[in-house]
Amino acid sequence: MAQLSSGTAACPGCIAAPAVPARPIPQDTQIALSLPGIHCSACIATVERALNATPGVEDARVNLTLKRAMIKAAPDLRATDLIPVLENAGFEAHELDPGALSATQADKAGRDLLMRLAVAGFASMNVMLLSVSVWSGASDATRDMFHWISAAITLPAIAFSAQPFFANAWSALRVRRLNMDVPIVLAILLALVTSLWETTLSGEHAYFDAALTLTFFLLAGRYLDYRTRAAARSAAEELTALEVPRAIRVAVGVEEEVAVATLNVGDLILVRPGGRMPVDGEIVSGQSELDRSLLTGETLPVFAEQGATVSAGEVNLTGPLTIRATAVGEDTSLHRMADLVAIAESGRSRYTSLADKAAKLYAPGVHILSALSFVGWYIYSGDIRTALNIAAAVLIITCPCALGLAVPAVTTAASGRLFRKGMLIKHSTALERLAEVDTVVFDKTGTLTSGIPELTSLGDHSRADLEVALALAEASSHPLSVALTKAAREAGIKPATLKDVTEVPGYGTEGTYRGQRVRLGRAAWTGAEEGDQTTAWLAIAGQAPSAFLFSDTLRPGAADAVQALREAGKEVILISGDTQGAVQALAGKLGIQNWIAQALPQDKAQHVEALRDQGHHVLMVGDGLNDTEALAAAHVSISPASALDAARVASDIVLLGNDLSPIADACDTAAKATKRIRENFRIATVYNIIAVPLAVVGLATPLIAALAMSTSSITVSLNALRVR
């Protein structure tokens, strides 16, 4: 949430008469909330209705694509006041720092491509009409006039529309390498130079229409490629925005709310229940339980008391804590994780796409062939004009247009197929990388499982015990208490009448039942022995403690996905920050032989990097803040739509539904898509083999060149549709 500020209202008259003091006017507060659980228009309506009904909220708008709510509120309203409102409405919410988010969310790149495509299309239609007149028999002064008009339309249109190709080609040539845009730019420039020369000399043929058509088709492919993926935002930016923007500093017994940026090592900071740790530190007073699921994936809250260490991003659940800061700002564990994610993400830019690999072979061959045609015809005819025309025809008819469409046409078709199955492709090379995967690494909590505890031992307890347990559970917001309350209520259990019910932070809930002390909570507090399974213990005086067992339910399609991936010959690995017993039990249930428990975020990333160094192509599937570094480090990555924003934007593919079974189909579709891309390259090559001799012997008029380009482009597009 932005810092509170005050401004001074001033008009020219006030400035002229400074002796009159201006009244400070409180500024509205901008609050940003991450909403990872929203998925449809009904969610948007519910969230906005709940927020707008809250006193102090002036306006609330939800962005479904970004899974984010932006709230304009009164100066005294805090994000911590709004998060419970949304939780009561059934939505998970996390505070974001608006100052850490990019200033604009406008889709500039998409609008820019669309504008260039529109200009190229409009110009090519007009120039084509003029060309038809020339082909129909216009000659002498009329033909020259049409050519000059075509030049007047083409030159500014190309200068504007083809800028992306010029920029990419120049970037490649500056570092002495070739990409697909180099032959494209050369073909466009040579077509323009040749056409201008022919027009100046009153020649019969000009390639203005071919240059514009080439630009239009290539821009169409570039725009298709752009639309197949969501706008890629930096995961590091989202991680930074999750850092708490304010904290309560305690100095000489006085509490003061300050910006986190002003905190120093050694400061005492009060973190109330429900608050997120603003810095790394050590607890100096208080006891509570910490939710570390976003950072470590642990399903159970962790007990914390004086002397325990905490990390930025962890959530304080039950009791107030005073911590002494040991790391602030860029030195916190959360900030270091953001830096590591940014570094890991940059590795993807080094991946060479199939199109660029083809360009390394294709571009030199085309250039050499065009140069040889020029030299051969100049030696044969002695006419540089004829030689240049034929060289241009060779370069145009070799059709970089078909090669430019080969990849985006297939990825668009494949992305459409996967979208209908509930998967959204974000990154331009994700499908190519997914086709190479031989190892799949799954996170546990929130990925293979739902991340929500479920009571499994309801039938093992007497009705009297259930009534007491329900009465105690209803007095706590602990995740296990919430799960117990839900299960008991659904079973028709009514709570017993208790007295003096209180929650002891970090331990559980206690009260008096028929004159006896009863407790529901941790094993040591109730006199029980700790086990591997997730358990809450009920202790009634005079009775042995009884265990309420909980498990994390499997996400739909998890078993099918793991089985299908193994049958496809891929190695499946489970890496989780959860306890050894919980991870082992899930691995055995799904038939996963290779598993790792109690893994920290850096452990996950290091294991993924180790697999990569061994030559494996790793697909990482995860959903939490603790997975972002591994997601960014993997060869390709997938996150569920329910994942935290930071994990979702670090991924190449987003799983829109709850079902995991489409993951195996995505791998199969990616392999087919890669096969179609290679086929498209071969189709373009075959067309070149047929068309190039016509150009070399001087039979390729501008009409033939345009027809060859269009035919090959249409064929490539039709072949791409086979992926669907």
In the residue annotation, 500 being an active-site residue is answered as no
Output the CA torsion 580→583→584→587 (10° steps).
-160
3-state secondary structure of 574: strand
Residue 88: HSE in the Cβ half-sphere, 13 Å Cα cutoff: 9
Task: Tell me how many degrees the CA angle 18-22-28 measures, rounded to the nearest 5.
Answer: 145
Say which amino acid occupies 173. L
Q: Both tokens of residue 595?
A: 């598993």
Residue 220 CA to residue 227 CA, distance in Å, equals 11
Residue 58 CA to residue 52 CA, distance in Å, equals 7
For 76, counting Cβ atoms within 10 Å of its Cβ (0-12 exposed, 13-18 middle, 19+ buried), the class is exposed
State how far the alpha carbon of 653 is from the alpha carbons of 254, 418, 427, 604, in Å.
48, 10, 7, 19
Q: How big is the chain by its Cα radius of gyration, in Å?
A: 32
Say which amino acid occupies 156. P
Helix axes 140-161 and 181-200, enclosed angle (nearest 10): 150
3-state secondary structure 79-130: HHHHHHHHHHCCCCCEEECHHHCCCCCCCHHHHHHHHHHHHHHHHHHHHHHH
For residues 589 and 553, the answer to whether their CB atoms sit within 8 Å is no
Report the helix count and the strand count for the chain, using DSSP H and E.
25, 28
Residue 434 CA to residue 619 CA, distance in Å, equals 7
Residue 436: HSE in the Cβ half-sphere, 13 Å Cα cutoff: 18
Neighbours of 69 (CB within 10 A): 24
Site of tokens 């602030």: 328
Residue 255 CA to residue 693 CA, distance in Å, equals 84
Residue 48 CA to residue 483 CA, distance in Å, equals 27
For residues 229 and 430, the answer to whether their CB atoms sit within 8 Å is yes
Q: Both tokens of residue 353?
A: 């796409």
Q: Which of 225, 267, 443, 645 is flagged as catalytic?
A: 443
Output the CA torsion 599→603→608→614 (10° steps).
-120
Strand intervals (E) in 505-649: 508-513, 516-521, 535-540, 546-554, 571-575, 594-596, 618-621, 636-640
Q: Both tokens of residue 451?
A: 């991340």
For 433, counting Cβ atoms within 10 Å of its Cβ (0-12 exposed, 13-18 middle, 19+ buried), the class is buried
Q: Give exposure, 15-54, as e/b (b: 16+ Cβ within 10 Å).
A: eeeeeeeeeeeeeebebbbbbbebbeeebbebbbebbeee
For residues 481 and 473, the answer to whether their CB atoms sit within 8 Å is yes
Closest Cα to residue 647, out of 453, 480, 445, 478? 445
Q: Distance between alpha carbon 193 and the CA centroid of its chain, in Å?
A: 43
Q: Distance between alpha carbon 396 and the CA centroid of its chain, in Å?
A: 38
Q: Both tokens of residue 554?
A: 């499997």
Tell me the Ramachandran region of residue 451: left when phi exceeds 0, alpha when psi lies from -120 to 50, beta otherwise: left
Site of tokens 């190039």: 692
Residues marked active site are found at 443
